[in-house]
Structure formats: structure tokens, C-alpha cells
Chain A
């Protein structure tokens, strides 16, 4: 589980959805990188992820890793956002029966997990049906 410094360091992505747009080719990296995976350029400007997208694939997790045991079963998926970024997150507020490839979703800021009684509460984005 993350230490406070690690958690704090990741806040721009988890809370504010900050991505890096390559100044040379326009490719958007999430999380931000130092080298563009598409063109190799090294200059980026900060941009915010598009808020909506489409589910490309999904599953329902029945056996959870440490820290998520009390949430099973829960749905997760990979969605492609309007800006072309593909990202992985839980899909919530959605009947399992209505999960499908092509489902329109939007990002919503939610609680993800917690470290324990006195630990950090982890927040971040989840997908909800748009």
C-alpha cells in the first residue's frame, strides 16, 4: 500500500486527471511520460483527460487482491476516452447484465480502497455509465 509521499505524488493523475500531450505529434500520455511512445519526442504540455469514453473490454472480479476483498464482486474495464487515451478502472453503478463492449461511460471521482483503520483512504476515477 502506498506511503503518504507516493500517494501525494500521484494526486495530479488520480484527482485531477492530468495527462501529458506530446508537443510534436499530439499523442496524449496517461500517466504523463518523459518520452513520447509514438514519436520519441520529449516535450509535453499538461492536459486534462476527456471525461467520457467507450468500454473496449471488461470483466467481473470474483477473487480480489489484498485491500479489495470486501468489494467482490466488482466490474472493471478498459475504456477508450474521446481523446484517444485508454485506461483501466472499475465500472460502477451498473448492473453486471448491462456490461458490454461499446458501453458509453464517464469518469467519476470515487473512493477506491483504504489502508485500514488509521490508514490512507485511496481515491481516484471510476467509470460510470454515461
Chain B
């Protein structure tokens, strides 16, 4: 297997981009990534997108986006693993370069979510759950995570305030990220008094509906070295699956696919979590970040709430989590999220994260998750 480098990143401002179509949002970010890399020719491209069919009525994205980017006849594929589609695209690109099949691969992620009503968007997102045995009964994604929160609070004594602290922390980080959908702080009081979505989760516990895209250029280490510019290496990649129905899990408080994917990525990198200085994780809901910090082994089972309360996961803490603002403040265009996580880590490792820079960061980890943990993808990056 060959070593793989990230040589270019591209991301534009996320939000409700009513004036832009899916193909435009994607093409803009892909061009930024290609320009950042100083590359014009690619061997192939992989795009993560969860549900363009339900969100904009468009499939066959690989060819559409290759066409609009002016890269035909380069092979192009769209990959899907619900909210971890972006992380999966990165992994597929990594595999393609590592195998030697391609030398330069464009990895992208995109989701255009505001062309449908809120109700239709809730339905589209709900298809990442078991449609026949969860969706049929009127379950929503917030409801599934709310049930995980109720179980975690009951079993470990996690508090409503600790959940809110995740949102407060991530918005503080996001206030320093100009590309974030919500680049502002929120107070504990604002979170605790925001409207209920599925008890105990309130709207400020939830990541938003977002239009956005993100792109990276990957190449072999050999090619990266010839360029004589700084780059970042991908030193570990792991992926795991679990039941998509929450009810089939042994423990509603534990995200096993994340634990296994992280173990695989760490083992490939030959590292422990203590060797990593920043973590971009899938905080689709506040309870998710708490459970992920446990699954990654940053804290013991049940201690995730205490960790955020004690500032362990703040920038400046022992394990900074979501310096970008996370899904919560940066936004969550589902298929783009996993790619944007990697972009934040690359920027941090290149020392280009501005006010939210984690000082002295040499290694970073991304954790991207589909559904309630039915799929997880973890990557580890290292400054060269």
C-alpha cells in the first residue's frame, strides 16, 4: 500500500444558499481545492452525497459533477453512507491512491438541503434510519438521538446542562470560523430555553439544515514530495458498520462502529489517541459528541458529559474536539460533512486555522458517522 497525501483543500461559506444549485456549490469548492493543490489533471473523482434524489431530485452525480467541473472523461463516482458519505468518499479516494490505481484523486462532498420544505428534509434525513421499522412509526433522527440521550442520562447521570455545554463550546469555536453557517456564540440559557424538538433535545442541540460542499485533492506521497510545498499525510483509515435500527443495538449509550473504526485507524497509524492533538467529530446532536468522545477512548464510558463540563474537549483542553465549530455551528450538509472535517484538520496541521488554531498540532483525527452509528469512518492525519 502506498502512502497518501492531501495536497489541496477547498470550502466555501455554508448556509442557506438559495441562489446556488447543487452543481454550482460543488464546482466552486472543487475549483478551490484544485487551485490550492496547483493541479489541473485528475485521474478520478469520488463524491459523497447522502440523498440528492430526495433533496433535489437528481441522481447520477458522479458524471454530472465531473461534467460541470470540466473533467470528463475522468471516472467519477458518487458514494453514499448516509451522514458519513463524505468520510466514505475520502476513504474510497484514499484506497484508490494507496492501491496505486490512481495517482491524483479529487474527493468531494455535497448536499443541497434547502430546495425542499423542513418536513421533506426531515423525511429525507430519516431514510438513514430503518424506514420499515423506525420511520413507519413516525420516528425522526432527533427522536432516535433523544432516546440515546434519555438512556445515557438514566445510566450515567449525564445532565441536561452537560448536553448544552457541547453546543456552547462548539458555537464558541464556530464563532472563529468565517465559513461556518452560524459563526456566533450561544449561551447556556439560550440552549436550555430553545424550542423542544424531541425531549430532552432542543433545537440548539441539533445540527442545522445546510447547503454546502467541500473538496480535497489526494495524491501519492511521491507526487506530493515533488511539489516542494507543505502537505498533510493520511496515516490511518478505518470504517465499521452496525445495525441501522437503534432497537437492535446491545447498548443505546455506546457507538460501537466508531470504537471499531477508530481502533482500525489508530492501528494503521501505529498511534494511540494520546498522540493526537485535535478531533473533528460528528456532533449531529449534542449527545452524539458526548458518546463519540467515549467511543474514541478520550474518556471512560459514561464520562463524556463530565469531560465537556470540565473543559477537556475545549480548544486549550487536553483533547480539543470540533475546533471548527462542528456540525452544530459550521453546519451539516450531510454528504459534505466528512470532507469538511478533513479540511479543518488539514488547515490546523498547516497552521492556517487563525483564531481557532490548536497550538502545536501535529496529528488530527476525523470521525464521521451515518445514522445513529450504523456506519462510522475515522481518519488520522499527520503534518509531513
Chain A residues packing against B (C-beta within 8 Å): 10, 14, 31, 37, 56-69, 71, 74, 76-78, 86-90, 101, 112-113, 122, 124, 126
* B24 close to chain A: CB less than 8 A: no
Q: Which residues of A contact B248 (CB under 8 A)?
A: 37, 86
B122 adjacent to A65 (CB under 8 Å): yes
A-B contact pairs, 6 of them (CB 8 A): A61-B140, A62-B196, A64-B119, A65-B122, A87-B133, A90-B138
Q: A61-B140, A65-B123 are in contact. Are A88 and B197 (CB under 8 A)?
A: no
Q: A76-B137, A76-B138, A90-B137 are in contact. Are A63 and B122 (CB under 8 A)?
A: yes
B123 adjacent to A87 (CB under 8 Å): no
A59 adjacent to B154 (CB under 8 Å): no
Pick from A56, A76, A88: contact of B133, CB below 8 A: A88
Q: Which residues of B contact A56 (CB under 8 A)?
A: 151, 252
Complex alpha-carbon distance, A26 and B120, angstroms: 40
Complex alpha-carbon distance, A129 and B221, angstroms: 62
Measured CB to CB, the closest approach of chain A to B143, in angstroms, equals 5
Count, chain B residues at interface, CB 8 A: 36
Interface hits, B238-265 → A, CB 8 Å: 243, 245-248, 252
Pick from A58, A86, A87, A113: contact of B138, CB below 8 A: A113
Complex alpha-carbon distance, A107 and B124, angstroms: 28
Complex alpha-carbon distance, A126 and B137, angstroms: 8
| CB contacts between A and B, total, < 8 Å | 101
A60 adjacent to B138 (CB under 8 Å): no
Closest A-B pairs by Cβ, 6 of them: A59-B146, A68-B138, A57-B147, A57-B151, A66-B123, A86-B247
Q: Which residues of A contact B151 (CB under 8 A)?
A: 56-57, 101
B198 adjacent to A65 (CB under 8 Å): no
A64 adjacent to B147 (CB under 8 Å): no
Pick from B138, B146, B197, B201: contact of A74, CB below 8 A: B138
Residue of B nearest to A90 (CB): B137
Measured CB to CB, the closest approach of chain B to A64, in angstroms, equals 6
Complex alpha-carbon distance, A40 and B161, angstroms: 43
Q: Which of B132, B150, B195, B200 has the most CB atoms of chain A within a 10 A radius of its CB?
A: B150
Say whether chain A's binding surface is mostly helix, strand, loop, or mixed.
Answer: strand
B137 adjacent to A124 (CB under 8 Å): yes
* B135 close to chain A: CB less than 8 A: yes
Pick from A10, A60, A66: contact of B199, CB below 8 A: A60
Pick from B122, B136, B137, B147: contact of A59, CB below 8 A: B147
Q: A56-B252, A90-B137, A122-B136 are in contact. Are A63 and B197 (CB under 8 A)?
A: yes
Q: A57-B151, A65-B123 are in contact. Are A88 and B132 (CB under 8 A)?
A: no
Pick from A31, A61, A68, A113: contact of B132, CB below 8 A: A31
Q: Which residues of A contact B246 (CB under 8 A)?
A: 78, 88
Measured CB to CB, the closest approach of chain B to A84, in angstroms, equals 12
Complex alpha-carbon distance, A60 and B150, angstroms: 11
Complex alpha-carbon distance, A14 and B136, angstroms: 10
* B134 close to chain A: CB less than 8 A: yes
B252 adjacent to A71 (CB under 8 Å): no
A77 adjacent to B147 (CB under 8 Å): yes
Complex alpha-carbon distance, A67 and B138, angstroms: 8
Measured CB to CB, the closest approach of chain A to B278, in angstroms, equals 32
Interface hits, B128-175 → A, CB 8 Å: 132-140, 142-143, 146-148, 150-151, 154
Pick from A10, A63, A87: contact of B140, CB below 8 A: A63
B137 adjacent to A112 (CB under 8 Å): yes
* B374 close to chain A: CB less than 8 A: no
A63 adjacent to B198 (CB under 8 Å): yes
Residue of B nearest to A63 (CB): B197
B119 adjacent to A69 (CB under 8 Å): yes
Complex alpha-carbon distance, A5 and B195, angstroms: 39
Q: Which residues of B contact A113 (CB under 8 A)?
A: 138
Since A65-B139, A78-B147 are in contact, a sample of 8 more A-B pairs with Cβ atoms closer than 8 Å, ordered by chain A residue number, is A57-B252, A61-B138, A63-B198, A68-B138, A76-B138, A87-B133, A88-B139, A89-B137
